[in-house]
């Protein structure tokens, strides 16, 4: 057995220094009226009023704490470099506070295990949805057409370059994301639109997100080591022809988590709900995945809902609950806009994880291991070696939880 110590997520929060209750929707959706400040040189912005169009290469330093106060958009041909250990706080209570990287631009956010980069809320009592999140647009194909426009931030995405290089996100934490603009527009923690194989994404964590944790809209990028904790909607989401590989994904709802959407899932996979034959078809591979619900107050609708023409392969999958916590369905492939296909190997379950809801195809079966999760005398959760994701890969976050 390997021991995974789980403590409260509150221990992770960076101390905030200000709070705002005002709300300015301009710039949050596709009508970006707030991009009226042009950043044309390294010293051409105020670190405590950080927003605008980045029209040059700039670097953020770990020695400075930044306050994101509006839309920050990296324009095509330019690179935003963020030094390891940098803290960027976002002004809370607004839907127009986010970081967007458009097609042809790059973000080079290279944290380290010892000095991760953190995006967080500035609120004294931070909460999910305090600010938008991180949005990156690339140039790989999407099955929504030759090009499309992002749900939030007003970026174009799509193209023909499967090797698109949008930069690096490594050892990055995003907290209290998911600002909701309206019923159709809501930020995720990290939204990746048609990002290609030359983009580097690994060791990322999303805590306390009001919508999805990480969502892939098309793209070919391969991602390693994703941690999602206390996500209101889907932990891991893909759509529009995503074909990359996700290795070592760990999603957990803590015991005291009680704030969810109507249909939250561990994994949600779509291809194209209007035309399931549209290409590219979503065909990602997941390797080493854990989805755990410790909350008796909010069931996951599905451990994985794979639908609308999507086809997913999952190797070494673990679904688990403790006590009266539950999933509604284990795997669901049935949908009135088109069914899905799932192929699983090495799948293990424990607890109340429901039954499969089959409309499409499910290849493979689960085995039951009632000792996969154990609770020690100090309520410390332990998970058997080799079952699902390797939680030790997230030690750099200092995240631990108790049941």
Q: What angle do CA 189, 145, 139 make, to 5 degrees?
A: 55
Q: Give a yes or no: residue 168 inside a domain.
A: yes
The mean pLDDT of 6-12, rounded to a whole number, is 44
Does any domain span residue 17? yes
Please state whether the peptide bond connecting residue 280 to the residue before it is cis, i.e. omega within 30 degrees of 0.
yes
Report the distance separating Cα 148 and Cα 144, nearest Å: 7
**Top-confidence residue, 143 or 403:** 143
- Give whole-number Cα distances, 331 to 50, 241, 354, 362, 369, in Å: 43, 20, 8, 8, 18
| Nearby residues of 183 by Cβ (< 8 Å), 6 or more positions away | none
Q: What six digits make up the tokens of 201? A: 């994404």
CB-based contact 330:292 (threshold 8 Å): no
Q: What angle do CA 243, 179, 320 make, to 5 degrees?
A: 55
Radius of gyration of the chain (CA): 20
Average pLDDT of the segment spanning 118-139: 97
Q: What is the mean pLDDT of residues 290-318?
A: 96
Mean pLDDT value across residues 27-38: 54
d(CA 177, CA 12): 15
Over residues 96-117, the pLDDT tens digits come to 999 999 999 999 999 999 999 9
Please, how many CA atoms are within 13 Å of residue 377, restricted to the half-sphere of its CB?
A: 0
Angle 195-29-260 (CA atoms, 0-180°, nearest 5)?
80
The pLDDT value given to residue 235: 98
| 84, 104 Cβ separation under 8 angstroms | no
- Per-chain mean pLDDT for the chain: 91
pLDDT reported for residue 52: 97
SS3 state of residue 395: helix
Task: Supply the pLDDT for residue 142.
Answer: 98
Per-residue confidence (pLDDT) for residue 93, from 0 to 100: 92
Residue with token string 């034959």? 277
As a 3-state breakdown, the chain gives helix, strand, coil percent values, each rounded to 5, of 5, 45, 55
Asked if 227 contacts 205 with a C-beta cutoff of 8 angstroms, the reply is yes
Residue 22 has pLDDT above 60, yes or no: no
Length of the chain: 403
Q: Is 8 exposed, middle or buried (0-12, 13-18, 19+ CB in 10 A)?
A: middle
Mean pLDDT of the region 149-173: 97
Q: Residues 239, 207: contact at Cβ < 8 Å?
A: no
pLDDT of residue 376: 83
45-70 pLDDT per residue, tens = 999 999 999 999 999 999 999 999 99
* Domain annotation covers residue 271: yes
Residue 26: band (very low, low, confident or very high) from pLDDT cuts 50, 70, 90: very low
Does residue 169 lie within any of the structural domains? yes
Q: Indicate whether 166 belongs to any domain.
A: yes
Judge whether 196 and 220 are in contact, CB under 8 Å.
yes
* DSSP-derived pairing of the beta strands 38-39 and 58-60: unpaired
In a domain, 403, yes or no: no
pLDDT of residue 382: 84
What's the Cα-to-Cα distance from 240 to each of 91, 119, 204, 237, 399, rounded to whole Å? Answer: 31, 27, 22, 11, 32
- Give a yes or no: residue 158 inside a domain: yes
Percent of the chain with pLDDT over 70: 91
Domain that includes residue 269, residue range: 2-397
Q: Which residues pair with 344 in a beta bridge?
A: 314
What is each CA distance from 397 to 166, 206, 389, in whole angstroms? 24, 10, 16
Q: Pairing between strand 373-375 and 381-383?
A: antiparallel
How many distinct structural domains can be found in the chain?
Answer: 1
pLDDT tens digits for 324-382?
A: 999 999 999 999 999 999 999 999 999 999 999 999 999 999 999 999 998 888 887 88
Q: Is there a domain that residue 402 lies in? A: no
Compute the distance between CA of residue 240 and CA of residue 280 in angstroms, rounded to an integer: 8
Instruction: Assess whether pLDDT exceeds 80 at residue 28.
Output: no
Question: Per residue in 232-291, pLDDT tens?
Answer: 999 999 999 999 999 999 999 999 998 888 899 999 999 999 999 999 999 999 999 999
């Amino acid at each position: 057995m390997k021991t995974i110590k789980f403590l409260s997520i509150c221990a992770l929060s960076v101390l905030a220094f200000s709070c705002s209750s005002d709300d300015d929707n301009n710039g949050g959706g596709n009508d970006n009226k707030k991009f009226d400040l042009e950043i044309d040189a390294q010293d051409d912005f105020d670190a405590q009023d950080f927003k605008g169009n980045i029209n040059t290469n700039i670097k953020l330093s770990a020695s400075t704490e930044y306050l994101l106060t509006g839309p920050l958009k990296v324009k095509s041909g330019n690179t935003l470099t963020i030094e390891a250990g940098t803290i960027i706080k976002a002004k809370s209570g607004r839907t127009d506070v986010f970081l967007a990287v458009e097609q042809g631009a790059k973000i080079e956010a290279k944290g380290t295990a010892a000095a991760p980069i953190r995006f967080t809320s500035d609120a004294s009592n931070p909460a999910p949805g305090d600010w938008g999140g991180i949005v990156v647009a690339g140039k790989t194909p999407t099955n929504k057409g030759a090009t499309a426009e992002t749900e939030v931030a007003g970026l174009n995405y799509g193209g023909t370059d499967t090797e698109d290089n949008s930069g690096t996100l490594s050892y990055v934490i995003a907290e209290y994301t998911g600002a909701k603009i309206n019923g159709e527009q809501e930020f995720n923690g990290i939204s990746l639109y048609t990002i290609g194989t030359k983009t580097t994404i690994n060791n990322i964590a999303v805590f306390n997100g009001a919508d999805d944790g990480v969502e892939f809209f098309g793209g070919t990028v391969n991602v390693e080591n994703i941690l999602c904790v206390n996500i209101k909607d889907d932990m891991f989401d893909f759509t529009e022809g995503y074909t990359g590989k996700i290795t070592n994904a760990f999603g957990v709802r803590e015991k005291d988590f009680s704030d969810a959407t109507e249909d939250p899932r561990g994994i949600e996979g779509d291809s194209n709900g209007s035309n399931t034959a549209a290409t590219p078809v979503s065909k990602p591979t997941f390797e080493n995945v854990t989805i755990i619900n410790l909350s008796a107050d909010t069931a996951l609708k599905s451990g994985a809902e794979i639908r609308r023409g999507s086809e997913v392969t999952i190797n070494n999958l673990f679904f688990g609950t403790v006590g009266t916590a539950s999933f509604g369905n284990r795997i669901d492939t049935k949908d009135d806009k088109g069914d899905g296909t799932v192929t699983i190997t090495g799948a293990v379950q424990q607890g109340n994880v429901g039954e499969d809801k089959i409309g499409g195809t499910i290849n493979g079966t689960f085995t039951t291991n009632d000792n996969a999760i154990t609770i020690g005398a100090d309520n410390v959760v332990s998970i058997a070696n080799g079952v699902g994701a390797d939680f030790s890969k997230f030690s750099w976050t200092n995240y631990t939880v108790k049941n």
